[in-house]
Amino acid sequence: METEKITQDLKAMLNDGVFMDPLLMNTYYQGRMPACWEQAKTCANRMYQSYTHGQHFAPGLDDDMPFSPRLLHRCLVETVMSTAVEIANERTGSVAPNEDDLETAKHRVEDWIDKRGMERLYKVYFVIAGYDFLQPMFFHKHVYEADFLNGARHYPYTTEALDLYLMTALARGSVRLKQLRDGRIIVPTKLGQTRFQWMRQSLEESGYLERRIAMSYVYQFDTIEDWDALCDIVWPDGRELRKSYLEWVGIEPGQQVLEVGCGTGVLTFDEGLAERVLPEGHLTAIDVSNGMLDQAQSKYKERGAPAHVTLTLASVEHLPYPEDRFNVALGSAFLHFTNASIALKEMARVVVKGGIVSILQALSFDLNVPFFNEWFQPILELAKKSRRNQKGTYLPTIDQLQEWFAGAGFSQIEVRQTTASWVFDNPEVVVQHIVRGVSFFQAELVYLPWDDQRTLIMELIDRGRDVCRKYSRIERRLELPSVMVRARK
Ligand SMILES: C[S@@+](CC[C@H](N)C(=O)[O-])C[C@H]1O[C@@H](n2cnc3c(N)ncnc32)[C@H](O)[C@@H]1O
């Protein structure tokens, strides 16, 4: 019963654009954007004062749920701040909120509380933070209290938060303490284990975990500093492929072109897309990641800030352009990070009748190759256990692509199949690239505690070293099927 209610609340939150992600707040925003944090705290303080008149609040809570002013306070700050991030994401696709986003977030959170009650918000917070709290205990059966309190397994949660969570979990009977010879451990109780299972179920069923993953795609691009170097090592013929893609699309001088998911500007500047619109045409290049755009911005400046190019922070899912604005909308290696059918509909909307929508995209392929299985065995096992990722990759199939293009209203679709070499040579680079760059295993990693994610990544790098010794270079090369698609509106 309560599980269903929580699932409904979580769904309602996602529908109403209210987001609550303590993990994201602590990982990404801790120490960043201090002005935003201060503003979020002020909002939360005001909300806290207007909603908590103790008497009012407590009767809404179950007997086993203690009321902690500090916890409610954390819940409010993190909800206002995460909602502001959600709003920034809706507006520009980025995860960098401004003052207006915070103001809008405050209203959204207040409206939600007016409709559903502060107790429900507090309970949802218990589920989300409780899930993060119990996950390492569930995974490892126990955690040493000392390790727990210094955050060894729960980084990026701060000691201050962990201290509070532990008291609360003890009071609720979700965990107990047990003295061992070498120290005290925290063990989940039977009740705690049952709670953990239903919390996970609620977070999955409501779409919350999926949203968390989608958000992480955006902010992890923000923190990749050496994307171009990474790609050049892993996809040595990636640049040639982009060049031949541009030839194939056939951009004409004078056209108004939109490039989506421009990243660091490899297609835009390095491979000459910008020059193709000259003279008199214009190229608008967008991306959702501030970090990637900064790198594109450097290339733009190196080229003397050409007036025929504009770089803009925006999402392909909400293009800030009117209908019929461009002759061509195109992009490379971005579609699998987006809601593809929305992305293609948006691209179709902004091109003129007779205009072109085109993509260069890697396709799903069979990863069942000896060296790959050996290298990535621990994560493949995890995928099997969680019964996700049955297909092997998160890349689309050609049929899916055709379906999405047809769904966006295109009937004339041209496809050119090609391949790109994927070289598994340098274990650090390969693992970085697979985990962060192409995000193959994001859906598995989300099921691991923070600390174990890092340990797994280190293990994958170590396994990679062994695999590189055992298999020849040729054996460690995959031909990645890729496709160029061009459709006319
Ligand atoms: C793999 S990179 C490819 C970059 C570039 N097109 C290239 O070929 O090197 C994918 C890019 O898509 C961007 N991206 C992801 N989701 C997006 C969205 N919804 N709208 C626009 N860009 C998005 C990412 O920030 C990232 O820069």
Protein residue closest via CA to atom 15 of ligand 1: 337
Ranges 240-249, 267-276, 383-392: which has the least confidence: 383-392
pLDDT band for position 177 (cuts 50, 70, 90) = very high
Distance between Cα 365 and ligand 1 center (Å): 21
Name the helix (H) or strand (E) containing 447. Answer: none
The domains of the chain are located at 2-222, 227-488
Phi, psi (degrees; rounded to nearest 5) at 274:
-60, -40
Q: Please check the confidence at residue 349 and state whether its pLDDT lies above 80.
A: yes
Protein residue closest via CA to atom 4 of ligand 1: 263
Residue 218's Cβ-side half-sphere holds a number of Cα atoms within 13 Å equal to 26
Name the helix (H) or strand (E) containing 135. Answer: helix 118-140
Sequence-distant (6+) residues with CB within 8 A of 110 are 47
* Alpha carbons 268 and 280: distance in angstroms, whole number: 17
SS3 content of the chain, % helix, strand, coil (to 5): 55, 15, 30
Reading phi first (left if > 0) and then psi (alpha if -120 to 50, else beta), residue 405 is in alpha
* pLDDT of amino acid 60: 65
Distance between Cα 325 and ligand 1 center (Å): 21
Q: Please check the confidence at residue 389 and state whether its pLDDT lies above 70.
A: no
Q: What percent of the chain has pLDDT over 90?
A: 53
Indicate the top mutation candidate among 215, 334, 339 to test ligand 1's pocket, ranked by most ligand atoms within 8 A of CB: 334
For the chain, what is the mean pLDDT?
A: 88
Reading phi first (left if > 0) and then psi (alpha if -120 to 50, else beta), residue 173 is in left
In 3D, which of 453, 261, 232, 256 has the Cα closest to residue 339?
261
Amino acid at 72: L
By the 8 A CB rule, do 216 and 243 touch? no
Distance between Cα 177 and ligand 1 center (Å): 46
Residues 377-408: b if buried by 16+ CB within 10 A, e if exposed:
eebbebbeeeeebeeebbbbeeebbbebbeeb
- Give yes or no for a cis peptide into 188 (omega within 30° of 0): no
pLDDT band for position 484 (cuts 50, 70, 90) = very high
Protein residue closest via CA to atom 25 of ligand 1: 289
Q: Please check the confidence at residue 195 and state whether its pLDDT lies above 60.
A: yes
Indicate the top mutation candidate among 287, 292, 360 to test ligand 1's pocket, ranked by most ligand atoms within 8 A of CB: 287
User: CATH assignment of 227-488?
Assistant: 3.40.50.150
Q: Please check the confidence at residue 390 and state whether its pLDDT lies above 50.
A: no
In 3D, which of 73, 72, 68 has the Cα closest to residue 170?
68
pLDDT tens per residue across span 35-46: 888 888 998 888
Distance between Cα 263 and ligand 1 center (Å): 5
In 3D, which of 309, 390, 321, 389 has the Cα closest to residue 349?
321
Give the C-alpha distances (Å, rounded to integers) separating 332 from 190, 311, 328: 49, 16, 13
Indicate the top mutation candidate among 220, 321, 330, 337 to test ligand 1's pocket, ranked by most ligand atoms within 8 A of CB: 337
As for ligand 1, residues whose beta carbon falls within 6 Å of it are 93, 221, 260-263, 266-267, 286-289, 292, 315-317, 331-334, 337-338
Q: Please check the confidence at residue 379 and state whether its pLDDT lies above 90.
A: no
pLDDT band for position 392 (cuts 50, 70, 90) = very low
By the 8 A CB rule, do 154 and 162 touch? yes
Protein residue closest via CA to atom 14 of ligand 1: 261
**Other Cβ atoms within 10 Å of 167 Cβ, number:** 14
Minimum-distance ligand 1 atom for the alpha carbon of 360? 8
